[in-house]
Amino acid sequence: MDEIRTSPNQSDPSEAGMTLIELVVVVLIIGILMAIAFPSYVGARDKSADRSAQALLRDGSVVARTVFTDRETFDGVSPAGLHDQEPELDFVPGSDAAAARTHEVSVQTGGSGTGAYLLFATGSGTGRCYAAVHRGDAAVRYQVEEASPCAADDFDPTAGTWTGSW
């Protein structure tokens, strides 16, 4: 039998690769999929950062209730005293910026016509600043602003903009 030989310039069909057009089409498809998926990823990441800040303030609310139950007032409450109650949170003075990613909560205490209050604030990393104000046995009130950095002193505890939820 005669053996058919191919010249070195002829390619073997079993060793065929992708053409440039096929490669461009594959890269284009991957690019389209990335363009669709990226906004969803960013939205989920931002939502997670916001929820983390809210959860941090809810943890601070538990501490506030404990302090109020023990003392029956918020007078004389300090960031160090709050940290003794909840060592997982880093309570900082109201003029200091706080960020949820570092477990920091900015704390402002004071009194107004409606009595002593305790105000917590922390930034979510998305440019939003979340705050919660506690007044004795009254329901916790919430506020969110577009602000970075985020500190408790940025909020007016007597303003009428506090709501029952974020």
Higher-pLDDT residue of 137, 127: 127
Q: What percent of the chain has pLDDT over 70?
A: 89
pLDDT at 111 over 90: no
pLDDT at 7 over 60: no
9 — pLDDT class (breaks 50, 70, 90): low
Q: What is the 3-state secondary structure (H, E, C) of the chain?
A: CCCCCCCCCCCCHHHCCCCHHHHHHHHHHHHHHHHHHHHHHHHHHHHHHHHHHHHHHHHHHHHHHHHHHHHCCCCCCCHHHHHHHCCCCEEEECCCCCEHHHCEEEEEEEEECCEEEEEEEEECCCCEEEEEEECCCCCCEEEEEECCCCCHHHCCCCCCCCECCC
Q: What percent of the chain has pLDDT over 90?
A: 46
Higher-pLDDT residue of 52, 75: 52
**Whole-number mean pLDDT of the chain?**
86
Domain ranges of the chain: 53-154
Record the pTM.
0.74
